[in-house]
Amino acid sequence: MVAPVRIIACEGGLLVLFIVLCGCISTSIGDVSYANGGITAKINNPDGPSDAFVQVTIYQVTGLTQQEHSVVMAPAKLLTGDNTVLIPVTLGPGTYKFKMYLIQSGERKTAVIRDIVV
């Protein structure tokens, strides 16, 4: 009876470890905010330092409709670990939807959609 319990506990521990590590192996975009004439994005880069671009398609949301406001792109020099990228853009008061793409080596690495109120 002791051996099967140890095997189940070991498998459970390996499963938890696998789940934790899976979240750490790809570049990801975290918190996104707007202040002082720019969009700030937190980007986690588990790989080595690299050059990248952040592209943001901005939609203004009014009621149940959204209309494309602008598309902006900014270069980013990503270091290993957590990075903060500023994308300059001026937005008036209102509700917006950001579709944000991270491009490295000509490939889209990740994308997120965020709703922001200015």
pTM summary value? 0.74
In a domain, 19, yes or no: no
Ramachandran region, residue 25 (left: φ > 0; alpha: ψ -120 to 50; beta: rest): alpha
Give the number of domains in the chain: 1
Q: What is the pLDDT of residue 40?
A: 95
In a domain, 33, yes or no: yes
Specify if 3 maps to a domain: no
Beta partners for residue 52, in sequence order? 76, 104
CA-based torsion, 107, 109, 115, 118: positive or negative? negative
User: Distance between CA 104 and CA 59 in Å, rounded?
Assistant: 24
- For each of the chain's 118 residues, which pLDDT tens digit applies? 555 555 555 565 544 445 444 545 688 999 999 998 999 999 999 989 999 999 999 999 999 999 999 999 999 999 999 999 999 999 999 999 999 999 998 899 999 999 999 9
Does 79 map to a domain?
A: yes
- Which tokens in the block code for residue 31? 């918190």
Q: Considering the domain boundaries, does residue 69 fall inside one?
A: yes
**Domain of 87?**
27-117
CATH of the domain at 54: 2.60.40.10
